């Protein structure tokens, strides 16, 4: 995981709000996916704020893309908020 990567989480009702900061690499992507598996399964909406990410490495995007099925299994809607870094495109 990138040394400066952090995930700040806040739960409000049936929504989970995640704020990503730092650099997003493959290990960071795995950390995000693990958090979604653990904490996202009981949420209807997950909001992922990417506005504080400095850099998104291609491998991080590839990890999200190859594991995009997790979002379908969790049976909720994921909303990406922030600058266009390609993470939401990796979901399609």
Q: What's the pLDDT band for 65 if we cut at 50, 70, 90?
A: confident
The two structure tokens encoding residue 17: 């709000």
pLDDT in tens, 46-56: 999 999 999 98
Predicted structure pTM score: 0.84
Distances (CA, A) of 64 to 13, 29, 67, 74: 26, 6, 5, 15
Superfamily of domain 6-90: STAS domain (3.30.750.24)
Burial degree of 28 (CB within 10 A; 0-12, 13-18, 19+): buried
Confidence of residue 10 (pLDDT cuts 50, 70, 90): very high
């Amino acid at each position: 995981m990138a040394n400066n990567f952090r995930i700040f989480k806040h739960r409000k009702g049936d929504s989970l709000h995640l704020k990503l900061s730092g650099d997003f690499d493959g290990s960071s992507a795995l950390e995000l996916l693990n958090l979604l598996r653990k904490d996202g399964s009981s949420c209807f909406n997950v909001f992922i704020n990417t506005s504080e990410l400095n850099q998104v490495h291609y491998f991080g995007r590839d990890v999200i893309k190859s594991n995009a099925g997790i979002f379908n299994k969790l049976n909720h809607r994921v909303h990406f908020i922030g600058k266009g870094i390609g993470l939401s495109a990796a979901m399609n």
